[in-house]
Amino acid sequence: MEHKTLRSLVKQHGTPLFVVDHKELRKNYALFRKHFPRVQVYYAVKVNSDPAIVETFYNEGSSFDVASMQEFHTVHELIAHLPTKQRQDFIWNRIIYANPIKPNETLQELDQYKPLVTFDNHEEVKKIAKHSPHAGLALRLQVPNTGSMVELSSKFGALPGEAVELIAYAHEHKLVVEGISFHVGSQCTNPQNFIQSLHLSASIFAEAKSKGFNLTLLDIGGGFPAAYDDSVPALSSLAKTINSELNRLFPKTIEILAEPGRFLVASAGTAVSKIIGKAIRSGKLCYYIDDGVYHTYSGIIFDHCVYHMKSFKKGATQLCAVFGPTCDALDTISLAEQLPDLELGELLYTDNIGAYSAASSTHFNGFPPAKVVHVNR
């Protein structure tokens, strides 16, 4: 986003500020659709559940991956104006409740909508059969997460060797398993994770068919990486690899969906903060700003993400530390940023911070989250 625009927004709204560029959201969505023409986009709402962001993707034609009832209701509010039948059809065809572990109360509330939900174990089958018998199921597989920034397979996923038995177990409980889902890990820069996962899924499709179970859906999950730096492979390259295997392994009759989140929103978010303190400690220039890891920079803690601070001011730089405003030493944004010598009240900013970041903001130590401003809506 242009410096002039950011400065103008700060004058109007103050700091800390979290700016969401909806033009960038639409561009990223179109790019994903272009490179994955066979895949239906189910935006992963957890990545940034701001209703305005969800609405932009809804208007672009997106479907949605939700993992809590709050996220479900965020989407539901957008379609509440539809006639009952159309609303039910939308939920069935364009929302997946992709959290494999669900409270009984959630399943009871979901049942009226006949939702598509994921599962990965026997106990979950029994819960769904009792509390949400009208649901359609997708079996979540444990797949390789090698090289991904956030690994997920230690927490979720059935072993491939037990997959067909679990499908049969669900059918014994009068449930219909629609297909298979997997997740290669967040910010996946290793295309082999996708290739191996697709091969595992194809073998399970074949084994299930031999046992009389006709699977019709494949959910290839999320993990599509945001371009945080030059080491991240281009989406076009990753798509070429994935599309080749999809077309080779799965006939056109199989519905393919994906749950991109980070790729769609990361580059659309910019954080702007103000320097509220300055000190020299052990020979290093230290800046204290009015945003931190309990707020927009929460991805440092929860998402294993590295964010870089930038200055609007040009000139010679030096190695600096940047800290957040709270009294907790954990509130450290960076110990090694190249920044110029700045005065109190001057601004720093971080781009590519739209994913997860603001989604985990707290009021720790009494400091409120950054104000969210939407542009180009």
The C-alpha angle with vertex 149 and arms to 67 and 294, in degrees rounded to 5, equals 65
Q: Which amino acid is at 10?
A: V
Choice among 188, 305, 320, 327 that is catalytic = 327
Match 């959630």 to its residue by tokens: 106
Contacts of 251 (CB under 8 A, 6+ apart): none
Widest CA span in the chain: 71
Mention every residue, 6+ apart, whose C-beta is less than 8 A from residue 165: none
Handedness of CA 365, 366, 367, 372 (dihedral sign): positive
Active site residue 286: no
Left (φ > 0), alpha (ψ -120 to 50) or beta: where does 228 sit? alpha
CB atoms within 10 A of CB 26: 17
Q: Which tokens hold the place of 110? A: 């979901």
- Residue 359 near residue 353 (C-beta atoms within 8 A): no
What residues contact residue 37 under an 8 Å CB cut-off, 6+ apart?
Answer: none
Please give the positions annotated as active site. 327
